[in-house]
């Protein structure tokens, strides 16, 4: 969407573009101020057709980052990304939220997460539920104010409360690492108990905390999967006769092309896969940066959906040019859609 000067002020995607655009100009009284202001500045439109919704998502993300349109602020501000930081080298370990990540500083980081509000909600919910919302950040043998309010188990006083606190913190680390779901189990039990006692306000709070924690866990799964730098061959069927092949590494599409099943063989597809992953000059880093997160999320959601099928090409197959194993994997991926051609 462009203004009177030809400046791009908004980029969006839709399965039904006509319906999406019409929605901006209909029932205008119900629109939030942001939409009303956008509509008042629209002078012209451009559109780009893609073969699949996945491509539309990726293109939308790319254009927003390149063009930085005024009305696409959510993906524009780096401050919207947050990390969970846990101080590991202090006697009194602390858990905080930060917008930056320092390398090799002895701290434990989780993230990046695209919604600071959801992170704050999850961490605050855990602290309140397990009474570790201490208003002091050190052991001083005296209770903090929150201890008297029932929000702190007393780790500020030292003694046995420190051991209990450290156990809770270890469970938080396990939760974010995906190895310990004890906190979620306990929160669900507390929600059920509150509901049975007809304390629906408390039950709703536990529900919101659980949803916020699940948001963090899902993002951590995306990050872990992406950092493994898989070589992915993904197929999306467009019809009974055609498909689209995507070759993906980390958060990038290295190759994409539409094929007719009658015009391509497993042997040819295998050559394409080995060639593109061999020629891959994309420099990958072990840790996922916040500038990579949006595409990584789109790719992860796509391959975990029912819209496509995919295989992982092991890294050891690439330098070996292992055509036999690649073609076997493609046969499994494509079932009987394509038959191998022999020479």
Number of domains composing the chain: 3
pLDDT in tens, 27-72: 777 788 888 888 899 999 899 999 999 999 999 999 998 998 988 8
Q: How far apart are CA 320 and CA 318, in angstroms?
A: 5
Which residue segment(s) compose the domain that 112 sits in?
79-225
How do residues 269-279 score in pLDDT, each as one tens digit?
889 898 888 87
Q: What are 220-253's pLDDT values in tens digits?
A: 899 999 999 899 999 999 998 899 999 999 999 9
Under 8 Å between Cβ of 155 and 132: yes
* Among 67, 74, 99, residue whose Cα is nearest residue 85: 99
Q: Is residue 1 part of a domain?
A: no
pLDDT of residue 80: 66
Distance separating alpha carbons of residues 154 and 171, to the nearest angstrom: 18
Bridge-based pairing state of the strands 242-249 and 309-312:
unpaired
Note the pLDDT of residue 342. 40
Residue 340 inside a domain? The answer is no
283 and 145 assigned to the same domain? no
| Residue pLDDT, tens place only, 157-199 | 877 888 888 899 999 999 998 899 999 999 999 999 999 999 9
**Residue 343: what pLDDT?**
38
Please give the pLDDT value at position 341: 42
pTM of the predicted model, to two decimals?
Answer: 0.77
- Please check whether residue 341 lies inside any domain of the structure: no
Same domain, 250 and 200: no
Report yes or no on 301 lying in a domain: yes
pLDDT more than 90, % of the chain: 41
């Amino acid at each position: 969407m462009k203004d009177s000067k030809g400046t791009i002020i908004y980029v969006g995607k839709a399965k039904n573009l006509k319906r999406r655009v019409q929605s901006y100009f209909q029932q205008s009284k119900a629109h939030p101020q942001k939409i009303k202001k956008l509509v008042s500045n629209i002078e012209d439109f451009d559109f780009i057709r893609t073969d699949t919704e996945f491509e539309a998502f990726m293109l939308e993300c790319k254009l927003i980052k390149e063009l930085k349109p005024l009305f696409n602020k959510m993906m524009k501000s780096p401050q919207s990304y947050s990390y969970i930081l846990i101080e590991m080298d202090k006697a009194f370990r602390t858990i905080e939220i930060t917008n930056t990540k320092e390398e090799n500083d002895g701290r434990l980081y989780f993230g990046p997460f695209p919604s600071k509000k959801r992170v704050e909600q999850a961490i605050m919910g855990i602290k309140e539920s397990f009474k570790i919302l201490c208003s002091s950040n050190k052991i001083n043998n005296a209770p903090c104010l929150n201890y008297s309010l029932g929000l702190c188990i007393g780790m500020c006083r030292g003694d046995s409360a420190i051991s209990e606190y450290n156990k809770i913190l270890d469970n938080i680390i396990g939760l974010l690492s995906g190895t310990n779901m004890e906190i979620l189990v306990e929160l669900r039990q507390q929600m059920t108990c509150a509901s049975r006692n007809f304390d629906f306000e408390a039950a709703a709070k536990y529900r919101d905390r659980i949803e916020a924690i699940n948001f963090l866990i899902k993002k951590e799964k995306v990050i872990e999967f992406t950092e493994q730098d898989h070589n992915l061959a993904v197929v999306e069927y467009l019809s009974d006769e055609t498909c689209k092949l995507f070759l993906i590494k980390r958060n990038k599409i290295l190759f994409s092309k539409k094929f007719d099943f009658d015009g391509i063989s497993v042997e040819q597809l295998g050559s394409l896969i080995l060639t593109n992953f061999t020629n891959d000059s994309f420099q990958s880093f072990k840790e996922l940066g916040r500038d990579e997160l949006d595409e990584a999320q789109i790719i992860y959601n796509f391959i975990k959906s029912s819209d496509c099928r995919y295989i992982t090409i092991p890294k050891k197959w690439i330098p070996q040019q292992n055509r036999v194993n690649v073609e076997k994997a493609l046969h499994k991926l494509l079932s009987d859609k394509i038959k191998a051609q022999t020479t």
